[in-house]
Amino acid sequence: MTDVIVVGAGPAGSAAALMAARDGLDVVLLERGPFPGSKNAYGGVVYGRVLDEVLPGWWEEAPVQRWVTRRSTMLLTETQALTVDFRSTDWGQAPYNGCTTFRADFDSWLAGKAVDAGAQLVTSTVATGLIVEAGRVVGVRTDRPDGDLRAPLVIAADGVNSFLAKEAGLLPRTQAKHLTLGVKEVLSLPREVIDERFGVRGDEGVDVELLGCTRGIPGGGFLYTNRDSLSVGVVVSLEHLTAAKVRAEDLVADLKAHPAVAPWVEGAELKEYTAHLIPEGGYDHLAELSTPGMLVTGDAAGLCLAAGIWLEGVNFAIGSGLAAGRHARSVIDSGDAKPYRKALEGSFVLQDHKRLRGAPDLVLSERVQQRYPGLVADLVQGLFTVTNPAAKPGALRLLRRAAKKNGVKLRHLLADGLAGGRVFR
């Protein structure tokens, strides 16, 4: 008798299956791809603190590419780049902060942990729909012959498009407004070339986030170092990309051609091109987290944090999955999803989202996206351009000039500064 059907062996699903199996429940973990991670792509970094409690010492065995010891945020205009660059040796030793990895490796590894705990992983199987009886989810249909599976609890971890959450009415069928499209190129470069170009050694790696490189389409760029490749891409508002009629791969080409980025990627060869949607609506556009007989986790629930300086998804998927698995038994016994919701409310999963609920609107606003990178770059260029024989113009005059040139009124700057203070307080 199956107790829990988990749909999707991504980070959320495998975390859920792991905890439910450890609790002694009979767990089936369905994955539509030939192996976990085969349908997944991310722009990113995995922050593993959420794993400490359940997989102590995970960093010894996780399939890590590099540990992020250097984090840069860049503001770009067509001709300028301003970089805030931070590095810490703390992040290069246990317990570490974040790592780069490939999802085929990472998701397969985490699913393996669920299997070790007793979950049954079934790959190459699509959950095609819900079985609902008397208003309660009692199982899923699959594309296997005689493929109906029944269980007292279904955990939907079926990703950003979650057709299960949609079928249950927990997620709108379309919501281009609250989705971004991420496209990514993985570019081969010899390990020593990466070490040299990015000033890192051994397992150290770099995470670069870039603003102002997407032709005014709300979003941003990213560049991460893997062992012997770079992950380079953009994440842009689906609604605005569509309206601008710009092709996503052209934005990546722009980024790679930027004078501040081109020297990093020179001579690198395309190894793989990927694309994926990301739920970036934040707290105000999450899915309903449950319906009788079903819990929703990870991207399916919209639990992806895109809050400017914080760009996190895999850890939120794991965090929500762990909570779903941990409380599966009590949800089954009580017939009520309350323990799951309470666990999320009591953890970073919903607390970070709630605290940063205003971030998506601010970060994707027209001024932050289109005007401030130029304003800041012009201001800094003014400060560092020596204008002899004329005397230095003074910072306030430079600010006024940069604001005017970029179409920003100083009262807007002040208002946005206050808004930013409120959002990120």
**Residue recorded with tokens 């199956």:** 2
**Smaller CB separation from another protein, 241 or 368:** 241
266 binds another protein (CB under 8 A): no
Task: Give, in order, the Cα–Cα distances in Å from 99 to each of 96, 135, 189, 300.
Answer: 8, 43, 18, 23
Is residue 252 at the binding interface for another protein, with CB under 8 A as the rule? yes
Q: Which of 84, 257, 395, 410 binds another protein (CB under 8 A)?
A: 257
From candidates 77, 231, 290, 369, binder to another protein by CB under 8 A: 231
Segment lying near another protein (by CB under 8 A), choices 155-163, 317-325, 333-341, 350-358: 155-163
Query: CB burial class (10 A; 0-12, 13-18, 19+) of residue 260?
Result: middle
User: Binding of another protein at residue 272 (CB under 8 A)?
Assistant: yes
Identity (one letter) of the amino acid at 168? Answer: A
Instruction: Look up residue 38 and give its amino acid.
Output: S
The residue (of 30 and 75) whose beta carbon lies closer to another protein is 30
Q: Which residues touch 384 (CB under 8 Å, ≥6 apart)? A: none
Of the residues 126, 149, 165, 314, which one makes contact with another protein according to CB under 8 A: 126
Distance (Å, whole) CA 211 – CA 40: 24
Cβ atoms of 224 and 241 closer than 8 Å: no
**Using the 8-state DSSP alphabet, how is residue 59 labeled?**
G
Instruction: Give, as ranges, the residues between 71 and 90 that touch another protein (CB under 8 A).
Output: none
Other Cβ atoms within 10 Å of 258 Cβ, number: 22
Q: Which of residues 172-191 bind another protein (CB under 8 A)?
A: 174-176, 179, 181, 183-184, 186
Query: 244 is written with which tokens?
Result: 């601008």
Which of 104, 193, 380, 383 forms a contact with another protein (CB under 8 A)?
104
| Residue 389 exposed, middle or buried by CB count within 10 Å (0-12, 13-18, 19+) | exposed
CA separation for the pair 165, 227 (Å, rounded)? 37
Per-residue contact track with another protein, 20 to 39, x per CB under 8 A? Answer: ------------xxx--xxx
Residue span binding another protein (CB under 8 A) among the ranges 117-125, 204-212, 324-332, 346-354:
117-125
CB of 192 to another protein, least distance (A): 20
Main-chain dihedrals φ then ψ at residue 147, nearest 5 degrees? -90, 15
For residue 98, the cross-strand partners are: 47
How big is the site for another protein, counted in residues (CB under 8 A)?
57
Q: Is 347 in the site for another protein (CB under 8 A)?
A: no
**143 binding another protein? (CB under 8 A):** yes
Q: Tell me: does residue 125 bind another protein (CB under 8 A).
A: yes
Would you count residue 273 as binding another protein (CB under 8 A)? yes
CA–CA gap between residue 362 and residue 351 (Å, rounded): 19
194 near another protein, rule: CB under 8 A: no
- Is residue 97 within 8 A of residue 68, CB to CB? The reply is yes
Q: How far is the CB of 150 from another protein (least distance, A)?
A: 19
Q: Is 100 in the site for another protein (CB under 8 A)?
A: no
Residues that bind another protein (CB under 8 A): 32-34, 37-42, 102-104, 123-126, 128, 142-144, 160-161, 163, 174-176, 179, 181, 183-184, 186, 226, 229, 231, 238-239, 241-242, 245-250, 252-254, 256-257, 270-277
